[in-house]
Amino acid sequence: GQNIDQPTEMTATEGAIVQINCTYQTSGFNGLFWYQQHAGEAPTFLSYNVLDGLEEKGRFSSFLSRSKGYSYLLLKELQMKDSASYLCAVMDSNYQLIWGAGTKLIIKP
Amino acid sequence: IAGITQAPTSQILAAGRRMTLRCTQDMRHNAMYWYRQDLGLGLRLIHYSNTAGTTGKGEVPDGYSVSRANTDDFPLTLASAVPSQTSVYFCASREATGADTQYFGPGTRLTVL
């Protein structure tokens, strides 16, 4: 079957670094997406990885290991506005997104 | 501003009533999607359309129907609403030229009593 796992909730301190992990088992792989979703709002695109390695975009970086079925989202210099849910999604062989349940990130001052 | 609009923003509905959620995009995207999002379960695909004139069933299609008469519009209909259909509904679209990004509408919060 298809499965995507990520922690339900994480807590971090303003100014610190946090890593949100995602493991997956899917039928086919056309890339892995990370989205951010603030409470009461729609998901918004953060990053896309299809090759192994690290993609850096400002304070956010995303890593992929296809052989391990593993990705992480790294958030640096945390700000209060980073308090949100972070959704991991894998695009399968039919170009459909398979979604994890999301990780709620709580930032404390 | 280009993007996806959904209507209504929220709705309270009596069980047994028929309801259509509207979704319109102006990005000329080929593919469109309807998801529901429930606490702790993440986004679940209800129906999708890869191009105008075609539709397909997702993970949780029962009780819902869709149509795709043109590129821009993708309405979702609940023929006879039940309380288990209480959820937040998101419409999304993507260009569908490969492994491209899905963009989401603002969502519709539906409560069925």
pLDDT digit string, tens, across residues B65-91: 999 999 999 999 999 999 999 999 999
Please check the confidence at residue B58 and state whether its pLDDT lies above 80: yes
Q: Closest residue of A to B57, CA-based?
A: A96
- What are the structure tokens assigned to A100, written together? 């994890």
Residue B98's pLDDT band (cuts 50, 70, 90): confident
What gap in Å lies between CA A100 and CA A90, rounded to an integer?
9
What's the gap between Cα B16 and its chain centre? Answer: 20
A69 — contact with chain B (CB < 8 Å)? no
Residue B1's pLDDT band (cuts 50, 70, 90): low
Yes or no, beta carbons of B44 and A99 under 8 Å apart: yes
Please check the confidence at residue B10 and state whether its pLDDT lies above 80: yes
Instruction: For strands A103-108 and A9-13, give the pairing.
Output: parallel
What is residue A106's predicted lDDT score, i.e. its pLDDT?
Answer: 98
Cβ contacts of B48 on chain A, cutoff 8 Å:
96
Q: Chain B residues within 8 A (CB-CB) of chain A?
A: 31, 40-45, 48, 58, 90, 96, 98-99, 101-107
Yes or no, beta carbons of B43 and A30 under 8 Å apart: no
What is residue A58's predicted lDDT score, i.e. its pLDDT?
Answer: 94
pLDDT digit string, tens, across residues A26-63: 889 999 999 999 999 999 999 999 999 999 999 999 99
Nearest one of A107, A108, A24 to A72, comparing CA atoms: A24
Of A8, A31, A96, the CB nearest to B45: A96
What is residue B97's predicted lDDT score, i.e. its pLDDT?
Answer: 83
Q: Longest Cα pair distance anywhere in chain B, in angstroms?
A: 41
Query: CB-based burial of residue A93 (10 Å sphere; 0-12 exposed, 13-18 middle, 19+ buried)?
Result: exposed
Instruction: Please check whether residue B97 is in contact with residue B103, taking contact to mean a CB–CB distance below 8 angstroms.
Output: no
Instruction: Please check whether residue A84 is in contact with residue A37, taking contact to mean a CB–CB distance below 8 angstroms.
Output: yes
Residue B2's pLDDT band (cuts 50, 70, 90): low
Please check the confidence at residue B99 and state whether its pLDDT lies above 90: no
A83 — contact with chain B (CB < 8 Å)? no
Q: Closest residue of B to A95, CA-based?
A: B99
Collect all residues with Cβ–Cβ distance below 8 Å to B1 and sequence separation of at least 6: none
Interface of A with B in 14-53 (CB under 8 A): 30-31, 33, 41-45, 48, 50
